[in-house]
Amino acid sequence: MAANRGQQNGIQLLLAAEQEAQRIVNAAREAKMARLRQAKEEAEKEIVAFRAQMEAGFQSKVAESSGDSGANVKRLERETEAKIEHLRTEATRISQDVVQMLLKHVTTVKN
């Protein structure tokens, strides 16, 4: 009988240990799921913040390129005037060489 009682106590201990192990596994599983939910929420917050930042940058670019057409026109006029002035300067600089080259070709007789 003592042996039977010892086996029964051993079985009870094994059942208790199995239940404790199952409780530990369930707690770990729940903690893992909670951490995954938290990570997902954090990622969604980061996505929202990044999207808002990109949208603000895009809106800024759109407003910059089309918002104030008067400023764009003035900027384009300044750029155009600068390019025209550059062309005039270059034309003045090389005009004497062009005249000399034309005179040389006009006055040279070829057989």
Query: pLDDT (tens digit, 9 = 90+) per residue, 31-55?
Result: 999 999 999 999 999 999 999 999 9
Rounded to whole angstroms, the Cα distance separating 55 from 47 reads 12
Quote the pLDDT of residue 48. Answer: 94
Phi/psi class of residue 68: alpha, beta or left (left: φ > 0; alpha: ψ in -120 to 50)? beta
What are the phi and psi torsion angles at 86 (to 5°)? Answer: -60, -45
CA distances from 12 to 3, 4, 22, 26, 88 (A): 14, 12, 15, 21, 104
Amino acid identity of residue 5, one-letter, is R
Rounded to whole angstroms, the Cα distance separating 54 from 61 reads 11
Rounded to whole angstroms, the Cα distance separating 6 from 20 reads 21
Cα 108 to the center of its chain, rounded Å? 65
pLDDT in tens, 81-108: 999 999 999 999 999 988 899 888 888 8
